[in-house]
Amino acid sequence: MEGLNEKPLTALMRPDKAALSLAEYERAGGYQALRKALKLAPVEIQRVVKESNLRGRGGAGFNTGMKWSFVPMDSDGTKYLIANADEMEPGTFKDRMLLEGNPHQLIEGMIISAFAIVATEAYIFLRWEYALASERMSKALSEARAKGYLGRDIFSSGFSLDIKLHVSAGRYICGEETALLNALEGRRAVPRAKPPFPQVSGLWGRPTVVNNVETLSNVPHIIANGDEWYRGLSRSKDGGTKIYGVSGKVKRPGLWELPMGTTIGEILEEHAGGMREGLKLRCLIPGGASTEFLTEEHYSVKMDFDSVMEAGSRMGTGTMIAVDDKTCPVGVLRNLEQFFAQESCGWCTPCREGLPWVEKTLSAIEEGRAKPGDLEVLEMHGTSLWIGRTYCALAPGAMEPLRSGLKLFRSDFERHIKEKGCPYKAH
Amino acid sequence: MLSHEEKIEIEEELKGAPFKRAASIDALKVVQRHRGWVDDQGLKDVAVMLEMTPSELDSVATFYNLIFRRPVGSHVILVCNTITCWMMGCDSLLKRLTERLGVPLGATSADGGFTLLPVPCLGACDQSPVMMVDGKLYGGLTPEKVDEVLKEHGWKG
Ligand SMILES: Cc1cc2nc3c(=O)[nH]c(=O)nc-3n(C[C@H](O)[C@H](O)[C@H](O)COP(=O)(O)O)c2cc1C
Ligand code: SF4
């Protein structure tokens, strides 16, 4: 039987998709991990989480326990924990399910994680468009406060914490953790220079940890069952399960909690049902818009951070976008770069000026107005907006699909240029 | 002048803020909730409460796409035009919407009823193509369903 032992994050969720109430969550064992955690030393929690091989689900895959260990433990004064619920990476919709379906799982994960770094204030940074999640989170927070699970002296442990819900006002860049800090401080959400890293100097200059919603939702299960159990859930080196998703013209778009390291082919064919009748897979973007294209050749690649990296892309958020053979790959890239150009925060020149240039060049090619040298212009940006050339990872992220697309769809680009327009439009 | 309710709500936001400016986005949202958008006078009045200069506050307001610094219609339609929805046919929804409302993307219908805005990925890609009207999500859309949604929100075309 599939249960908490195979799918800890989602097994409890209700089939009607209503949020689990506090009473339902507790009946299934909820908030027991918190009771256990508050009896441990904070550094012990850090150690267990580190050894569980939980890697950040926001996209970069940094070991969570390790990230926490950079927080100074001897400092007095306020420290902060922030749940990143800004989910705006195109093609990504996994945190929405966790927020709407089991808000107390996130709250419990946040209290334990805050205790692990001895943070006494916490925020959930939620995108405005997640209105249903906002309603359900507010309700769950009130329930937890009423029971004394949030507030002063939780379970007579001496540890106090409140969680505030901050509903954002748009812009993809707010999800970048240092831009998020500026947004929470009421400023323009431009990223900050690192170092100093937020763990040392974050919100209002205080030590701060920012973790993704899915990352934090895993924490209660690790504490309840131990690091060995957590590693055992996985089919690869990274611990745990992963919420994978597929969108596009597949038979059954959706989300599935599966062992970390499930192969791309299994997710696409068995869970998403493969492409719709009459369509073939042209390529897939494995983990949100800012990852390199893969193809059917990569069906045997395991979806975990290291394996997808070895295959030349990134697992990112683990929610794939399947592109069918009737969709124009130049059009796909144009749409992606339009998004990135629009969402550039404008802080640094290569990104602010370069992305609109990329977008215009792709539009020209798609619409049959290409000029000689346009492909070279695109290639040049692949270098000048690459890692280390810009202030944050938005621009290199935008270049990941572009660089791989230029290689993979070379003949499509050339056909557009030769035929002065999009050959797929005829369909 | 800020209304009595607006002032009280902004003061409420200020209570939870370690520094006044931390409440700037929430305070702007209060004004927008009451007026539909943030007008120049509203912005100046909020700036006074937050001890910021109006241009400082405006630099924050104009950064965020969901703080409206121009008037919007009674209903705001946000249509996802990012990758999955683009592949799943959001252009046909946008075509229908611009025809029905008689305005291009980014504009408000002549009767002041609807403002039509593009929005990046709404995080509901399994229900694609999707749009949001006044905070409510609609998925699995077709041009025909778009008509129904418009009618649900009082469109009389
Ligand atoms: C442009 C940009 C947008 C991002 N958006 C998000 C987001 O919406 N949610 C998220 O969890 N992480 C996002 N990230 C990653 C965060 O900066 C950060 O790495 C993450 O929240 C850390 O959490 P984790 O260690 O649990 O993965 C984004 C990064 C960049 C560069
Ligand atoms: S890379 Fe782009 S998004 Fe990042 S800081 Fe520079 S301008 Fe802003």
| CATH number of the domain within which B134 lies | 3.40.30.10
Query: Do residues B56 and B113 share a domain?
Result: no
How many separate domains does chain B show? 2
**Residue after which a domain boundary falls, among A277, A297, A324:** A324
For the segment B94-128, what is each residue's pLDDT rounded down to a tens digit? 999 999 999 999 999 999 999 999 999 999 999 99
For residue A360, give the CATH number of its domain: 1.20.1440.230
For residue B157 the two structure tokens come to: 């075309």
Within a domain: B114: yes
Within a domain: A423: no
Q: B16-54 burial, b if ≥16 CB within 10 A, otherwise e?
A: ebeeebbbbbbbbbbbbeeebebbeebbebbbebbebeb
How many separate domains does chain A show? 3
Q: Does A205 touch chain B (CB under 8 A)?
A: no
Within a domain: B98: yes
φ and ψ of A323, to 5 deg:
-105, 125
Within a domain: B68: no
Distance between A264 CA and the closest CA of chain B, angstroms: 18
For residue A298, give the CATH number of its domain: 3.10.20.600
Separation in Å, CA A209 to CA A68, A152, A196, A247, A316: 7, 21, 13, 31, 19
Query: Do residues B94 and B31 share a domain?
Result: no
Query: Do residues B51 and B111 share a domain?
Result: no
Q: Does A344 touch chain B (CB under 8 A)?
A: no
Per-position pLDDT tens, chain A of length 427: 357 779 999 999 999 999 999 999 999 999 999 999 999 999 999 999 999 999 999 999 999 999 999 999 987 889 999 999 999 999 999 999 999 999 999 999 999 999 999 999 999 999 999 999 999 999 999 999 999 999 999 999 999 999 999 999 999 999 999 999 999 999 999 999 999 999 999 999 999 999 999 999 999 999 999 999 999 999 999 999 999 999 999 999 999 999 999 999 999 999 999 999 999 999 999 999 999 999 999 999 999 999 999 999 999 999 999 999 999 999 999 999 999 999 999 999 999 999 999 999 999 999 999 999 999 999 999 999 999 999 999 999 999 999 999 999 999 999 999 999 999 986 4
Query: Do residues B30 and B93 share a domain?
Result: no
Yes or no: say if B142 and B135 are a contact pair by the CB < 8 Å rule.
no
Domain containing residue B38: 4-63
CA atoms within a 13 Å half-sphere pointing along the CA-CB vector of B117: 22
What stretch of H or E contains B36?
none
Within a domain: B157: no
Query: Do residues A201 and A250 share a domain?
Result: no
Yes or no: say if A33 and A112 are a contact pair by the CB < 8 Å rule.
yes
Query: Do residues B104 and B44 share a domain?
Result: no
Query: Do residues A261 and A342 share a domain?
Result: no
**Residue after which a domain boundary falls, among A276, A291, A324:** A324
DSSP line for A322-356: EEETTS-HHHHHHHHHHHHHHH--S-SHHHHHHHH
For residue A267, give the nearest of A252, A288, A289, A279 by alpha carbon.
A252
| Sign of the dihedral through C-alpha A305, A308, A312, A318 | negative
Partner B, chain A 139-198, Cβ-Cβ below 8 Å: 164, 166-172, 183-189
**pLDDT (0 to 100) of residue A75:** 79
Within a domain: A22: yes
Within a domain: B111: yes
Q: A173, A342, A359, A381: which to mutate for ligand 2, most atoms within 8 A of CB?
A: A173
Domain containing residue A32: 2-232
Yes or no: say if A353 and A328 are a contact pair by the CB < 8 Å rule.
no
Within a domain: B88: yes
Of the candidates A164, A170, A345, the beta carbon closest to that of B16 is on A164
Distance between A254 CA and the closest CA of chain B, angstroms: 5
For residue B97, give the nearest of B56, B145, B25 by alpha carbon.
B145
For residue B24, give the CATH number of its domain: 1.10.10
**pLDDT (0 to 100) of residue A2:** 52
Q: Does A132 touch chain B (CB under 8 A)?
A: yes
Residue B106, judged by CB atoms within 10 A of its CB (0-12, 13-18, 19+), counts as: exposed
For the segment B4-48, what is each residue's pLDDT rounded down to a tens digit? 999 999 999 999 888 999 999 999 999 999 999 999 999 999 999
Separation of alpha carbons A124 and A33, rounded Å: 20
Query: Do residues A85 and A145 share a domain?
Result: yes
Query: Do residues B79 and B148 share a domain?
Result: yes
Within a domain: B69: no
Query: Do residues A218 and A257 share a domain?
Result: no
Query: Do residues A202 and A185 share a domain?
Result: yes
Query: Do residues B16 and B82 share a domain?
Result: no
**pLDDT (0 to 100) of residue B18:** 87
Give the type of residue at A193: A
The pocket around ligand 1, CB under 6 angstroms, is made up of A 56-60, 62, 67, 84, 86-89, 172-173, 175-177, 210-212, 215, 392-394
Yes or no: say if B24 and A186 are a contact pair by the CB < 8 Å rule.
yes
Q: A18-54 burial, b if ≥16 CB within 10 A, otherwise e?
A: ebbebeebeeeebbebbeebbebebeebbbbbbbbbb
Of the candidates B119, B125, B136, the beta carbon closest to that of A93 is on B125
**pLDDT (0 to 100) of residue A426:** 61
Query: Do residues A307 and A350 share a domain?
Result: no
φ and ψ of B132, to 5 deg:
-130, 135
Query: Do residues A223 and A317 share a domain?
Result: no
